[in-house]
Amino acid sequence: MDFRENDEQRALRVAVASLAAKYGHEYWVAKARSGEKTTELWAEAGRLGYLGVAVPEEYGGGGGGITELSIVCEELAAGGCPLLLLVVSPAIAATVIAKSGTPEQRRAWLPGFADGSVRMSFAITEPDAGSNSHRITTTARPDGDGWRLSGSKVFISGVDETDTTLVVSRLADARTGKLRPAMFLVPNDAPGVEYRPIPMEFTSPERQFTMFFDEAALPAESLVGGEDAGLGALFAGLNPERITVAAYACGIGRYAVARGAAYAGSRKVWDGTIGSHQAIAHPLAKSHIEVDLARLATRRAAWAYDQDDPATGEYANSAKYAAAEAAIGAVDAAVQAHGGNGMTSEYGVGTLWGAVRAARIAPVSREMILNFVAQHSLGLDRSY
């Protein structure tokens, strides 16, 4: 692996950072407070090609990989505009369709992902099957030419901003009758689909929803990859999800360290600045190192994914773990450096507390990553 980014990747980083700077954290917080969406930012990022960097060129995308998409996620977050919709729509949904969709599904959806005009939510979590996705009960059954979907999902991000949700469910195998995983493209306004916002303690323009499917009627072509796609289709999206959440957290960590250092370097209540006290400088310096290490881990995971490396799963888990922990530490250090101002909306660091805490929980929690590492990397007995 080459640690240097190539010229195109560096240019992408600079360009996305400049877009993020144009909007800034105040914009993101104002949208969160007013209940509005970051529509202008999304549309401009789409027009500039940033949302479609990983979509294959033949469908109008940039032809890059998760490495490029991670750069977009990280730089928007580092500019104070972390967007979860980047994770669910271009990273998961577009990747699943590009890798596992039928040729018709690729033609129908990928050009819209390339320019950002398609936005798609992703739904796997269920009320009674959070960390244990083997336990999901949302089920589809054949009905005439199409399908009927029943069940419910929880914590689904951005349903009010998307038209369609990629829903992980179960489907009875036509030959054996056994239930197996299958994914469906479900229009959010299909008859039998309802969704309600969940009140969350999380400053963000993006909201989470409970979704209900009551015998929702779906056309035949809504089954991703057709009857035989199976588990591979789902796995195509899970590592990009972890890697881009890691990039999102790294970006927030960078933003927090920069804000903390700027404030500590200018605030004076004694003879020297607040930053001249090691009690304030060291946590910021430690966070700088930890965020930097998490960025390396994220880059390794993205590189491995783009090479189809079998170690991608372990690398993606490590990166997500390291990035969430580093970002939580960075926001905490930045809040402390700001004193009381760290808790104000005006200084824009306390506003990120929910975002970094969410990164420790979703899409896979810190504890489930440690379970994975204990079992698969260390060879210990499965604990659950």
The answer to whether residue 123 forms part of the interface with ligand FAD (CB under 6 A) is: yes
C-beta nearest to ligand FAD: residue: 130
The answer to whether residue 128 forms part of the interface with ligand FAD (CB under 6 A) is: no
Exactly one of 38, 138, 162, 208 binds ligand FAD (CB under 6 A); that residue is 208
Q: Which is nearer to ligand FAD, 156 or 335 (CB)?
A: 156
Q: Cα(143)–Cα(196) distance, rounded to whole angstroms?
A: 27
Q: Cα(225)–Cα(222) distance, rounded to whole angstroms?
A: 9
- Using CB under 6 A as the binding criterion, the count of chain residues that bind ligand FAD stands at 22
Task: Tell me which residue of 228, 243, 264 sits closest to 349, measured CA to CA.
Answer: 264
Exactly one of 50, 147, 155, 305 binds ligand FAD (CB under 6 A); that residue is 155
Q: Which is nearer to ligand FAD, 86 or 274 (CB)?
A: 86
The answer to whether residue 130 forms part of the interface with ligand FAD (CB under 6 A) is: yes
Q: Which is nearer to ligand FAD, 155 or 347 (CB)?
A: 155
| Shortest separation between residue 89's beta carbon and ligand FAD, angstroms | 10
The answer to whether residue 384 forms part of the interface with ligand FAD (CB under 6 A) is: yes
Q: Which is nearer to ligand FAD, 157 or 312 (CB)?
A: 157
- Give me the amino acid identity at 298: T
- Give me the amino acid identity at 342: G
Count the helix, strand and coil residues of the chain and give each as a percent rounded to the nearest 5: 55, 15, 30
The answer to whether residue 374 forms part of the interface with ligand FAD (CB under 6 A) is: no
Q: Cα(362)–Cα(131) distance, rounded to whole angstroms?
A: 9
Q: Are 46 and 115 in contact (CB under 8 A)?
A: yes
Q: Which is nearer to ligand FAD, 88 or 280 (CB)?
A: 88
Give the three-state DSSP class for 213: strand
Q: Cα(119)–Cα(31) distance, rounded to whole angstroms?
A: 18
Q: Are 189 and 198 in contact (CB under 8 A)?
A: no
The answer to whether residue 122 forms part of the interface with ligand FAD (CB under 6 A) is: yes
Long-range contacts, 307-314 (Cβ 8 Å, 24+) = 312/239, 313/239, 313/372, 313/376, 314/372, 314/373, 314/376, 314/377
Binding positions for ligand FAD, 82-111, rule CB under 6 A: 88
Instruction: Return the range that interacts with ligand FAD (CB under 6 A); candidates 11-19, 109-117, 155-163, 292-300.
Output: 155-163
Exactly one of 30, 258, 361, 374 binds ligand FAD (CB under 6 A); that residue is 361
Residues interacting with ligand FAD, by CB under 6 A?
88, 122-125, 130-131, 155-157, 202, 208, 358, 361-365, 367-368, 371, 384
